[in-house]
Amino acid sequence: MKAPGLLLILVAIGGRYTLDRAGLLELAWVDLRVIGLIVALVALALALTNGTPQKRRDEGWLLAALLFFVYQISSALWAPPAARVGPQVLDLVLLIVLVLAFYLYAMNDPETVVRFTFQLLFVTAIVYALAAIFISGPGEQGRYSAFGGGPNVFARIEVLGVIAAVALFMLTGRKLPLLVIPLFLLATVLSGSRGTLVAGGVVAGAALLKLRRRLSATAIAATGAVAVIAVGVIWALAPPEFTDLFQERFVEQTVQEQYLSGRTDIWMAALRMFADYPIEGAGLDGFYGLIGVNQAVEYPHNYLLAVAAEGGLGGLGLMTASIVLWTRIVRGGGARPQLTGMAVAATVFVALSSLFSGDYYDSRLAWMFAAMAAAAALVPVATPVTVKQPVMAR
């Protein structure tokens, strides 16, 4: 059952990967997402044919999410002429397929899926970090990324690597994954993604607050010591560009100059658009069609504001309904509290990161982890079957 998951996760991590990013400009029209999803769906169909079907229940959150995506696609009907409707519709259709496929995959065997997902993310984060540091190097702004992707997406993968390392430690008891966390943190800082660091810090703080009663004073002291050592190792072994990037982007721009890459102006423009089109929104990609096309801004860089500006109260209502119903399912952990909690942490992290950067398709990992958390909470734990031994006649 791991083959469909491998393909689905690779499609989700790979993002919009067309062959022009590999240097094949004449084949720029080939979208590997479509090819990957087709192969993944075939593999998933074959796997589910031999599997045991699970009883479906409490899937109102998924229905609301699908209605939300369909509403977004339908809003292309009233989008402004300059909106890039075609690529946006394709993104949303692929997002629907990805979420549905991963949910079906996770419902078949949640325990295996959660473990395998975090194992693959752990390995992926290592590969991305090494590729960024030793192959790609810093970009034009001095920020690091890997395999042609943006720094913000790269940073999300690295923080997900941290979550995966903690998850593997909790699942297996092995401390080796924890030793790689400094590499992930170094790569995250080198990406220069301030929003990702804030989102990761919020999730880490919430996790520690939730686990405070289970942690002894010795464990807290050990965690603090490991954190201090990790910072020292990062500072000692980091390349020279690390200190320059940290000083310029995090100290000078953020603290001293309070520079947020123009985010506040973009967000205010999205809020004004919501005020102008409060009910139905400006339509799919309406922000670009009305504002971004003239100001060279691709999207609002905030998932919530994008939904409000382009989907209005209709889009916000459907999205909120899905989130509320999903929260009711995963609250308390359901059938597998530990597995559900780890998937929820990954979901919340990506969702918070989406408030600082990314478009609709960049939220795919949040929806994917949400599906995994719901499956882990809903599917009953299989009870071992005891076979009675025949009584031997005396």
Give 289-320 pLDDT, tens digit per residue: 999 888 878 889 999 999 999 999 999 999 99
Is 40 a domain residue? Answer: no
Confidence band (pLDDT; 50, 70, 90) for 258? very low
Give the residue-averaged pLDDT of 31-51: 83
Residue 358 lies in a domain: yes
Q: Give the other-Cβ count within 10 Å of 173's Cβ.
A: 7
Domain count, the chain: 1
384 found inside a domain: no
pLDDT at residue 25 above 70?
no
- What percent of the chain shows pLDDT beyond 70? 78
Residue 257's pLDDT is 45
Residue 34 lies in a domain: no
Specify whether the CB–CB gap between 119 and 164 falls below 8 A.
Answer: yes
Residue 137's identity, in one-letter code, is G
Least confident of 75-79, 254-258, 357-361: 254-258
356 contacts 194 by C-beta, under 8 angstroms: yes
Mean pLDDT to the nearest integer, 208-231: 66
CA distance 221 to 229: 12
What would the pLDDT profile of 137-192 be if each residue is shown by its tens digit? 887 777 888 887 888 899 999 999 999 999 999 898 888 898 899 889 888 988 88
Q: How many C-beta neighbours within 10 Å does residue 134 have?
A: 9
| 283 neighbors 89 (Cβ within 8 angstroms) | no
| Local structure of residue 262 (DSSP, 8 states) | T
pTM for the complete prediction? 0.87
* Separation between Cα atoms, residue 12 and residue 33, nearest integer Å: 8
Are the beta carbons of 371 and 102 closer than 8 angstroms? Answer: yes
| pLDDT attached to residue 248 | 59
| Region of poorest pLDDT, from 67-71, 180-184, 249-253, 337-341 | 249-253
Please report the pLDDT score of residue 274 as a whole number: 96
> 360 vs 166, 197, 309, 357, 389, CA distance in Å?
28, 20, 13, 10, 57
CA distances from 271 to 275, 297, 308 (A): 6, 15, 8
Q: Decide: residue 13, CB within 10 A, 0-12 exposed, 13-18 middle, 19+ buried.
A: buried
pLDDT of residue 305: 95
Q: Is residue 186 part of a domain?
A: yes
DSSP 309: H
* Half-sphere exposure in the Cβ direction for 124 (13 Å, CA): 25
- What average pLDDT does the segment 351-355 reach? 94
In a domain, 31, yes or no: no
In a domain, 49, yes or no: no
Q: How far is CA 63 from the centre of its chain?
A: 20
Residue 241 has pLDDT above 80, yes or no: no
Residue 313, φ and ψ in degrees, nearest 5: -65, -30
Which two three-digit tokens encode residue 271? 């809020």
Among 47, 46, 38, 29, smallest CA distance to 11 is for 38
In a domain, 323, yes or no: yes
Q: What does the CA dihedral 265, 270, 276, 279 come to, rounded to 10 degrees?
A: -160
Contact 238, 187 (CB under 8 A): no
Q: Return the minimum-mean-pLDDT range out of 95-99, 228-232, 337-341.
A: 228-232
pLDDT band, residue 115 (cuts 50/70/90): very high
Handedness of CA 227, 232, 233, 239 (dihedral sign): positive
Burial zone of 99 (CB within 10 Å; 0-12 exposed, 13-18 middle, 19+ buried):
buried
- Helix (DSSP H) and strand (DSSP E) numbers for the chain: 16, 0
Domain range for 199 is 60-378
Q: How confident is the model at residue 231 (pLDDT cuts 50, 70, 90)?
A: low
Evaluate whether 285 touches 83 at the Cβ level (below 8 Å): yes
CA–CA gap between residue 284 and residue 309 (Å, rounded) = 9
10 Å Cβ neighbour count for 131?
Answer: 17
